[in-house]
Amino acid sequence: MKEKKVSLFNRILAYFLGLVSLTLPVFIYQFYVKWLGFPDGYLTEFERAEKILYNIFIWPCFGFGLLFIYLGRTASRQKTNKKLVISISLFFFYIIVVIIVRYYLGLHLDAGAGG
């Protein structure tokens, strides 16, 4: 009985993370990357670097989303505890690295703020 609860929790967690990692890049693109340079079209070097960073970020997120959905589908048939923990760790590590790189770019590139 306990194994069924763990399996159900793993499936729900995997499907939830799959949903998050598939929708996160869409929201980032629709609400941020698409509007870079608005209204005049000028991109600062920070915005150009950010656009490249987010375009690089988007594709692995889709891969993680498909992986999480696969793990959610197979959670009831096989033990996916270790695979799920490793996948979650890699996903959060990836997001933290992207956040750190964005912070570094924000510190060292011209963001167009003038005086």
CA distance 13 to 68: 9
27-76 per-position pLDDT tens digit:
988 888 888 887 888 888 998 999 999 989 999 999 999 999 999 998 87
Note whether residue 39 is domain-resident: yes
CA distance 88 to 7: 16
Length of the chain: 115
CA distance 28 to 26: 5
Note whether residue 115 is domain-resident: no
CA distance 39 to 95: 29
Note whether residue 60 is domain-resident: yes
Note whether residue 58 is domain-resident: yes
Overall pTM > 0.75? yes
CA 114 to chain centre: 32
Structural domain including 90 reads 2-108
Number of domains in the chain: 1
Note whether residue 53 is domain-resident: yes
